[in-house]
Amino acid sequence: MAGHSHWAGIKHRKGAQDKKRGKLFSKLSKAIIIAAREGGGDPEANLKLRYAIDKARASNMPKDVIERAIKKGTGDIEGVTYDDILYEGYGPGGVAVMVEVLTDNRNRTAPEMRKLFSDSGGNLANPGAVAFMFDRKGLIVIPAEGLDFDEVFMAAAEAGAENAEQEEGMIVITTDPSSFMDVSKAVEAQGWTTDTAEVAWLPQNMANPPEDVIEKVEALLEKLDDHDDVQNVYSNYEPAGE
């Protein structure tokens, strides 16, 4: 499942996110709150929480802010209740887009999502109208330098991974979502550094829209990613040159 084009799309999304630090703490806090709410406040027993904390630390989020977010998730201190919502839509040129949102007010977020799509020349779609074009997969990306690919492949496969491929200096491992935690733990046990570890929406096929709409597509993806409630944006858009 982990073709070159899939990782190209993820890289494009990550690059856009990494350029924005102003709103990052709010999004990282939400991710910590949700992870703690779902799996408890112990990062040793809750790998999703550990990854959320690692991302926060990598962005220099203060320790007390991280701890407060964990306590909000576990209910130790009062906090806002967030809903997980998945929005599906089509951007300019028919590019398929999946948007993962954490919101405290879906009545506010839904029309804002609809407006972003319509202003770009696209449209917000009904549930299921776009999701069939993606596969829900665990995605673990490891810098390949200094590693033996066959060793990584075997360790991942033994832990339940579906596939592993080497792409552009990275080893890209894909798993069924149910096996993601087991494979992640196996990777951690080997001491290998992860660049990305998440359950993602991977496009089955990539789209190359006409040149005259590329700017609009990229603007839509950037505006979605910049929205306060948006956690992740996935699309089948393949940037030129990838």
84's enclosing H/E stretch is strand 83-90
> Which stretch of 106-110, 159-163, 191-195, 213-217 has the lowest confidence by average pLDDT?
191-195
Partners of 196 in the beta sheet? Answer: 141
Number of Cβ within 10 Å of residue 95's Cβ equals 26
Partners of 96 in the beta sheet? Answer: 90
The confidence score (pLDDT) of residue 176 equals 95
User: Does the pLDDT value for residue 196 go beyond 70?
Assistant: yes
Number of Cβ within 10 Å of residue 76's Cβ equals 13
Structure tokens belonging to residue 189 = 């046990």
- Contacts of 18 by beta carbon, 8 Å cutoff, 6+ apart: none
Mean pLDDT estimate for the chain:
88
The confidence score (pLDDT) of residue 22 equals 55
The confidence score (pLDDT) of residue 1 equals 36
The confidence score (pLDDT) of residue 48 equals 86
Question: In 3D, which of 29, 97, 101, 100 has the Cα closest to residue 69?
Answer: 29
User: Does the pLDDT value for residue 130 go beyond 80?
Assistant: yes
* CA dihedral of residues 213, 135, 57, 165 (deg, nearest 10): -100
User: Does the pLDDT value for residue 5 go beyond 50?
Assistant: no
- Span 30-57, average pLDDT: 90
Delineate the domains of the chain, giving CATH numbers in brackets: 4-74 (1.10.10.200), 83-132+206-235 (3.30.70.980), 134-203 (3.30.70.980)
- Span 40-62, average pLDDT: 89
User: Does the pLDDT value for residue 13 go beyond 90?
Assistant: no
Question: In 3D, which of 137, 158, 141, 150 has the Cα closest to residue 192?
Answer: 141
The residue that leads in pLDDT, 91 or 19, is 91
At 227, the amino acid letter reads H
| pLDDT band per the 50, 70, 90 thresholds, residue 2 | very low
